[in-house]
Amino acid sequence: MKYAFSTLGVPGMPVPEVVRLAAENGYQGVELRAHPEEPVHPGLVAHERRAVAEEFARADLAVLAVAGYARVAEAGDDEPVYEELHGLLHLAADLGAPHVRVFPGGGGLEAAEADAIAARRLGAAAEVAAELGVRILLETHDSHRTGADVARVVGAVGHRSVGALWDVLHPWAAGEAPAATHAVLAPYLGYLQVKDAASGVETTPLALGAGSVPLAECLALVDEARTSNALMDDALLDGGEVWACWEYEKRWYPKAAELPPLLAPGLAHLKALAG
């Protein structure tokens, strides 16, 4: 298994410091939060993008994903969503990132309508993603919290450049067992976002292993599928390995403990769970 952490846990941190933290603590990659308040976002010009890519390459670290905020199931016109998706896809391609994370954002709509909107937009963006060698991953989040929710959309798109991102907290908090989540997402899975919290209601981020999220079960399900060749989509694999990314939501919980001192023990905990 390969391991990354999200810059959501170190909001606003300059790229060289992010790279140093990842390298010194044994991580192999980073998920970059792509927001205008962060150092990396779609507004960067060409030489700025090259500088970011070179910083990671010098440290032999991967940019696992560009974590964008496009809401593909949101009500409204398609064009602004397409523009946002295209900006994120080109940023990912320029950074050498294989994935772009997007949200559903279909709150307030009937499920069937939200699904149809998301599938239409993702399907339209899929060819651009394929040309750039980037994969769009729809996260288990907000209006589509469960694996079943996300699988409906991604399955309807039916394109290899559109997949799923399993944020392990949200389906579990919604009452979907990890085995059920994995069963429906396995054909589409890009990677896992791992995290820990006291419960599905009290979601303040905790050090890995300090909460109740069934991390061991989630990791075991994916690893067992990999070793038994049960994964239908080899896009999950990187040299035979699976990526797990620690998304520590410090940006949304400012009173949570600082992430940097937790990185090394968090990685040790994940490795112990993964065996």
For residue 84, pLDDT over 60 is answered with yes
Tokens, residue 226:
């990999």
Given pLDDT bands bounded at 50, 70 and 90, which one contains residue 18?
Answer: very high
Q: Which of 14-28, 105-119, 218-232 has the lowest mean pLDDT?
A: 218-232
> Residue 124 has what pLDDT?
97
Segment 247-256 shows an average pLDDT of 97
> Residue 232 has what pLDDT?
45
Query: CATH second-level architecture of 2-274?
Result: Alpha-Beta Barrel (3.20)
Pairing of strands 29-33, 135-139: unpaired
Given pLDDT bands bounded at 50, 70 and 90, which one contains residue 239?
Answer: low
Segment 234-239 shows an average pLDDT of 48
Q: Which of 25-29, 130-134, 221-225, 267-271 has the lowest mean pLDDT?
A: 221-225
Domain ranges of the chain: 2-274
For residue 229, pLDDT over 80 is answered with no
For residue 77, pLDDT over 80 is answered with yes
CA distances from 51 to 25, 47, 121 (A): 22, 6, 31
CA distance 151 to 167: 13
- pTM for the structure as a whole: 0.96
For residue 107, pLDDT over 60 is answered with yes
For residue 165, pLDDT over 90 is answered with yes
> Residue 227 has what pLDDT?
62
Given pLDDT bands bounded at 50, 70 and 90, which one contains residue 16?
Answer: very high
Closest by alpha carbon to 44, among 59, 54, 30, 34?
34
Kind plus residue range of the DSSP H or E element containing 206: none
Report percent pLDDT > 90 for the chain: 92
- Greater confidence (59 vs 224) lies with 59
SS3 helix, strand, coil % of the chain, rounded to 5? 45, 20, 35
* Average pLDDT of the chain, as a whole number: 95
> Residue 228 has what pLDDT?
58
Tokens, residue 132:
């750039």
> Residue 66 has what pLDDT?
98
Task: Specify whether the CB–CB gap between 271 and 255 falls below 8 A.
Answer: no
Given pLDDT bands bounded at 50, 70 and 90, which one contains residue 236?
Answer: very low
Over residues 190-221, the pLDDT tens digits come to 999 999 999 999 999 999 999 999 999 999 99
